[in-house]
Every structure is written in C-alpha cells, then in structure tokens.
Amino acid sequence: MEDFKAVILHGFSNEEALTIMRAVKSLGISASQTAFATTTPTSLQWKVEYLLEHLHEEHAMMQTRLAEQKKAGH
C-alpha cells in the first residue's frame, strides 16, 4: 500500500466533490494511483487504517477493470 494515495471527502455535495476530484487530478500528482472517496455512515464508524485498506482494494479492482476495458477497446 506504500504507493497508494487517497483523498477522502466529507460534507461536500456531489457537485463539489467532483470539482475537488477534477482539481486534484489536474495537478498530475499520481492521479492513476489516487483513490477518491466520500464518507458514508458506515465508513465514518471505521478506523482510518481499515478505511484505507478498503479503498486500496476497491481502487485496485477499478484499475484492473479499466485496464481490461482498454485492452478490449472500450
């Protein structure tokens, strides 16, 4: 998980969250290795370490799916 980066947002509207995500990605700071998440009632109960592990797993699955779609020409 050492190369993994995450941005966790809380209290923002969907539109605000998208604006923040786009702004962070525009900085070019390892954008493909950065996961973005908004808090949920469930995630607010988790320890930060568990939340980051969960985000890392989800991000890895998404990256694999995107790579497969790219290979398939989608």
pTM of the model: 0.78
- Residues 34 and 5 sit within 8 Å (Cβ to Cβ): yes
| Count of structural domains, the chain | 1
Question: For 8-60, what is each residue's pLDDT tens digit?
Answer: 999 999 999 999 999 988 888 766 678 999 999 999 999 999 999 999 999 98
> What are the C-alpha distances in Å from 55 to residues 3, 29, 64, 71, 74?
13, 18, 14, 24, 25
Task: List the domain range (segments joined by +) for residue 44.
Answer: 5-72
